[in-house]
Amino acid sequence: MRILVLNGPTLNMLGTREPEVYGTLTLADIEEMVRQRAAELGEVQVAFQQTNHEGELVDMILAHRDWDGLIINPGAYTHTSIALADAISACPDLVVAEVHLSNVHQREEFRHHSYVARVAWGQITGFGWRGYLAALDMIYGRLVEAGRA
Ligand code: DHK
């Protein structure tokens, strides 16, 4: 079972970026916890990518078209990118979980809408770094259920 964890713009700054909103853990810390959880689950291969560029996010999604799962925090592109939504739609076999560290619904109005949510299986928002682990568990459970483990 292969799952890509994809993080978008400015998530490389986690740890120092508005810690009261996004928490104090770095992306490397989150990656470590996800890897540990994947090892506990067994038979789960996880890969991590981060980019600040919209087109690179599209390329990375399409390059993993034949993988099983995608955990994506598209950062600000969540609220603007039809291109990301189209890329996800082009990958019908990817089980997609959208993750946000902060609770976007408690924040500015422009963060309430997600183009990605229309095409993702589900959205996890507001649980900080725990959202990534929850997303992994959700995708894993669904893939096991579908006999794709
Ligand atoms: C991360 C961002 O960079 C913001 O642009 C989103 C999301 C929220 C988060 O909470 O992880 O609006």
First to last CA, the chain: 6
Distance from C-alpha of 16 to C-alpha of 86, rounded to nearest angstrom: 32
pLDDT at 15 over 90: yes
- Place domain 2-145 in its CATH homologous superfamily: Dehydroquinase, class II (3.40.50.9100)
pLDDT band at 122 (very low <50, low <70, confident <90, very high): very high
Distance from C-alpha of 117 to C-alpha of 85, rounded to nearest angstrom: 8
Q: Tell me whether residue 22 is one of the annotated catalytic residues.
A: yes
Helix (H) or strand (E) holding 6: strand 2-7
Expressed in angstroms and rounded, the spacing between residue 47 Cα and the centre of ligand 1 is: 21
Q: What is the pLDDT of residues 17-72, one digit of tens each?
A: 999 999 999 999 999 999 999 999 999 999 999 999 999 999 999 999 999 999 99
Expressed in angstroms and rounded, the spacing between residue 59 Cα and the centre of ligand 1 is: 20
pLDDT at 98 over 90: yes
Distance from C-alpha of 110 to C-alpha of 129, rounded to nearest angstrom: 22
pLDDT at 149 over 90: no
Would you state the pLDDT for residue 129?
98
Expressed in angstroms and rounded, the spacing between residue 144 Cα and the centre of ligand 1 is: 29
Average pLDDT over residues 99-104: 98
Considering the entire predicted model, what is its pTM? Answer: 0.98
Give the other-Cβ count within 10 Å of 66's Cβ.
9
- Identity of the residue numbered 79: H
Q: What is the pLDDT of residues 131-142, one digit of tens each?
A: 999 999 999 999
Mutation choice for ligand 1 from 17, 78, 113, CB with most ligand atoms inside 8 A: 78
- Give, in degrees to the nearest 5, the angle at Cα 83 between 52 and 144: 85
pLDDT at 85 over 90: yes
Q: Of 64, 77, 79, 100, which is the active-site residue?
A: 100
Burial class (CB in 10 A: 0-12, 13-18, 19+), 72: buried
What are the residue boundaries of the structural domains of the chain, listed by start?
2-145
Q: What is the pLDDT of residues 21-36, one digit of tens each?
A: 999 999 999 999 999 9
For 47, residues 6+ apart whose C-beta sits below 8 A from its C-beta are 2, 3, 4, 5, 64
Q: Of 22, 77, 115, 132, which is the active-site residue?
A: 22
